[in-house]
């Protein structure tokens, strides 16, 4: 009998949202995504602590920022020895509102990958979907550096990314679900807001429909899932990046998946992608504004913790 995971692969490219090599070897995703939180979690495990030590030992004269990037690339390079597709590596979230610094940091990451013998086509540079981050991605894409715009919670963010010609966007599902559930409080009806009625699923489905309606080539990768029902409700999305726990659940469950997303359905109105429209629409969306800011703060905090581990290793 086919597992839900294998059935899902018929409609969607499966991506592992982890820094754990063994999960990738076992569950065979096509691509892999990482972020500061995932790398921080990995390097605190016995299996991956030597990678931190090796990186610091080999580049003792480097700054903490350079060592952090070298560590990210060390993880990414090893991941690419396991998955057949691409790996996403994130620019320091502390640069989320600095276009120029984001561009320079991304160029540095690509240079490190190429020095390690990895073609840039196999790397996606992850950048937060702020206005400044999107404009950095516009420049990087023009240089042949493919970008994955993350911390994306709204259609205006997605449209601005498409206007910048980014390779891929990662609209979040679970964090949108979290916000609406918390906002609803005691009135939240879990059963009524499940599957296609989940607010996070609806957001990604709307972005997917908008992109397909207007022939936008930017790939849509649903991310940040809280349960397998959200994943199955987005079967047919270009890609889905899934945590090890949910990958294992899908792999261990027999069943058949059917495509859930439709490229057409209802009126689709084009929205503007200029800076004023972007900032105005994002500001009017309390959920997207709050979750974007919260996400950046969380990644910054984990970036600082990773810096501390690097400094401690340096001794």
Task: Report pLDDT for 272.
Answer: 96
CB 133 within 8 A of CB 147: no
Would residue 126 show up in a list of annotated catalytic residues for this protein? yes
- Strand pairing partners for 87? 32, 123
Residues of the chain with pLDDT under 50: none
Task: Report pLDDT for 279.
Answer: 98
- Strand pairing partners for 257? none
Task: Report pLDDT for 264.
Answer: 73
Task: Report pLDDT for 267.
Answer: 83
Domains assigned to the chain: 4-314 (3.20.20.70)
Task: Report pLDDT for 87.
Answer: 98
> In sequence order, which residues have a C-beta less than 8 Å from that of residue 245 and are 6 or more positions away?
none
Q: How far is CA 99 from CA 105, 127, 145, in A?
A: 10, 10, 15
Q: What is the pLDDT of residues 18-39, one digit of tens each?
A: 999 999 999 999 999 988 888 9
Helix boundaries (H) for the chain = 4-8, 21-27, 36-43, 49-58, 64-80, 99-115, 131-142, 155-163, 174-184, 199-213, 228-232, 244-251, 275-284, 286-314
Whose tokens are 């060592």? That residue is: 67
Q: Which of 41, 126, 248, 305 is catalytic?
A: 126
> In sequence order, which residues have a C-beta less than 8 Å from that of residue 213 and are 6 or more positions away?
263, 264, 268
Two tokens, residue 260: 């859930």
Whose tokens are 């290793």? That residue is: 313
Task: Report pLDDT for 77.
Answer: 97
């Amino acid at each position: 009998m086919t597992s839900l995971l294998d059935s899902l692969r018929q409609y969607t490219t499966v991506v592992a949202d982890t820094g754990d090599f063994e999960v990738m070897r076992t569950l065979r995703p096509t691509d892999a995504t990482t972020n500061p939180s995932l790398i921080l979690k990995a390097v605190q495990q016995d299996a991956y602590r030597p990678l931190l030590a090796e990186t610091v030992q080999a580049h003792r004269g480097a700054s903490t920022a350079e060592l952090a990037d070298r560590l990210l690339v060390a993880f990414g390079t090893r991941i690419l020895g396991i998955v057949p597709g691409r790996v996403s590596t994130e620019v320091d979230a502390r640069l989320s509102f600095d276009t120029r610094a984001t561009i320079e940091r991304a160029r540095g990451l690509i240079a490190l990958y190429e020095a390690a013998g990895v073609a840039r086509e196999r790397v996606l540079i992850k950048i937060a979907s702020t206005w400044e981050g999107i404009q950095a991605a516009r420049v990087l894409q023009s240089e042949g550096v493919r970008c994955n715009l993350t911390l994306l919670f709204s259609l205006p963010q997605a449209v601005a990314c498409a206007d910048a010609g980014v390779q891929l966007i990662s609209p979040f599902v679970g964090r949108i679900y979290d916000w609406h559930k918390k906002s609803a409080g005691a009135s939240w009806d879990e059963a009524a807001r499940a599957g296609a009625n989940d607010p996070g699923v609806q957001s990604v489905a709307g972005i997917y429909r908008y992109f397909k309606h207007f022939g936008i080539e930017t790939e849509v990768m649903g991310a940040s899932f809280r349960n397998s029902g959200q994943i199955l409700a987005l079967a047919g999305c270009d890609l889905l990046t899934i945590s090890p726990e949910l990958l294992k659940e899908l792999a261990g469950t027999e069943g058949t998946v059917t495509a859930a997303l439709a490229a057409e359905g209802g009126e689709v109105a084009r929205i503007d992608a200029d800076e004023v429209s972007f900032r105005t629409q994002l500001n009017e969306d309390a959920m997207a504004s709050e979750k974007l800011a919260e996400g950046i703060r969380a990644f910054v905090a984990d970036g600082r913790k990773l810096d501390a581990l690097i400094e401690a290793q340096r001794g």
